[in-house]
Chains A and B, each alone.
Chain A
Amino acid sequence: MTNETTIAVTSDVELVGRAKKGNLDAFEALANRYEQRVYSLALRMLRQEQDAEDVTQQTFLSAMENLKGFRGEASFSTWVLRIASHAALKVIRKRKGLDTVSLEEATEEEDSYGSIPHPEYIADWRQSPEELVRKNEIQRLLEDALAKLDEKHRLVFLLRDVEGLSVKEAAEALGLSEGNTKVRLLRARLQLREELTRTLGDPERRVVRTHRDH
C-alpha cells in the first residue's frame, strides 16, 4: 500500500493524532477531506467566491493553530464546519457594519411558530429524489431556491440539513438559541419545499386544501 493509499483509508481521529504530533501530511490529508465542504458552506453562506476562499483559508489555518486544543468531543468535520461558520459570520457582520451585535438580537421577536406561512402549492413530485439527483439541472434549481431564502434561514438550513449538524451544534455555531434555530429551520424547510414543489410537483396531482385549518 502506498503512503497516499494508507492516508486515504486512515480515520480522521488517527490523522488528527498524527497531525498533533507534527505530521504535516496528516493535516493536509484532513484539509483535502473537508476543503470542498468548507468552501461550499462558505460560498452558500456568503454568495461571493473571494470571500468563500478567504474563509476556507482562515478556517484551516485556524484549525491548524488550534489543533492542540481539539479534544475530539465533536467530530473533526463538525469542529471545522463550526470554525468556518464563525469565520463566515464575521464576514456577514462586517458587511452589515456590525462588530459585536449578535445576528439574533434584531430578529428575536419574529421567530415564533405563530406566523409560520401555510404551504400553498401542494402536489406529489413527478420524480423521486434519487432520480432527480442524477440530473445536472437539479443542482441549479437547488442553489437558486437556497439563494432566495433569507440569510438567517439559509444559514440554519445549511448547517443542519446540508452539512448534517445537529440542531444543538448548528445553534452553537451560529450563536443562536436552540428555539430560534428550530423555528428558522422550519421556515427554511417550508420555503424550500414550496419553491421546489412549484417546479417538481405534478400539477395533475395537486392537492387543494378544502379549508385552511381542520
Chain B
Amino acid sequence: MKCAELLATLNEYVDGTVDPAICEVFEKHMAGCNPCQVVVDNIRKTITLYRDGRPYQLPVECRQRLHSALRERWKETHLTGGPAPA
C-alpha cells in the first residue's frame, strides 16, 4: 500500500468499517510510515473535536417565535381538524 492508497481508505479505517484484509495492509503501512500515522491520529482528533464541540445557541427570541408558531399551527390542525381556511 502507498500513502495515496492509504488516503483513499482513510474514511473506512477511522470509521471502523474497513474490510479486515485491507485493515491489516493499512496498519502494516502505518507501522512503517510515521507521517501517515500522524495524519490518521490528526484526523481522529479533528473528528472528535467537531463531534464534541458546542452547538450554536438558538437565541431566546427565536425560540419564543418558534414555539408560538408551533402552538398556533397545532391549534389550527388539532382544533378544527385541518388548517384554517384562508
Rounded to whole angstroms, the CA-CA distance of A10 and B83 in the bound complex is 29
Q: Which chain B residues lie closer than 8 Å to A122 at the CB level?
A: 35, 38-39, 42
Q: How large is the interface on B (under 10, 10 to 19, 20 to 34, 35 or more residues)?
A: 35 or more
Q: Choose from B10, B53, B67 the contact partner of A142 (Cβ within 8 Å).
A: B53
- Contact: A133 with B35, CB < 8 Å? no
Q: Which chain B residues lie closer than 8 Å to A31 at the CB level?
A: 66-67, 70
Q: Choose from B39, B45, B47, B74 the contact partner of A27 (Cβ within 8 Å).
A: B74
Interface size on A, residues (CB 8 A): 58
Looking at chain B's contact residues, the main secondary structure is helix
Q: Which of B41-86 contact A (CB under 8 A)?
A: 41-43, 45-59, 62-63, 65-67, 69-71, 73-74, 77-78
Rounded to whole angstroms, the CA-CA distance of A57 and B72 in the bound complex is 12
Q: Is B22 an interface residue (CB 8 A)?
A: no
- Contact: B42 with A161, CB < 8 Å? no
Q: Choose from A60, A119, A157, A196 the contact partner of B66 (Cβ within 8 Å).
A: A60
- Contact: A133 with B49, CB < 8 Å? yes
Q: Is B8 an interface residue (CB 8 A)?
A: yes
Looking at chain A's contact residues, the main secondary structure is helix
B-side residues, CB < 8 A to A, are: 2-4, 7-8, 10-11, 14-15, 33-35, 38-39, 41-43, 45-59, 62-63, 65-67, 69-71, 73-74, 77-78
A-side residues, CB < 8 A to B, are: 22, 24, 27-28, 31, 35-37, 39-40, 43-44, 49, 52-53, 56-57, 60-61, 64-65, 113, 116, 118-119, 122-125, 128-129, 132-133, 138-139, 142, 146, 157, 161-162, 164, 167, 182, 185-186, 189-190, 192-193, 196-197, 201, 207-209, 212-214
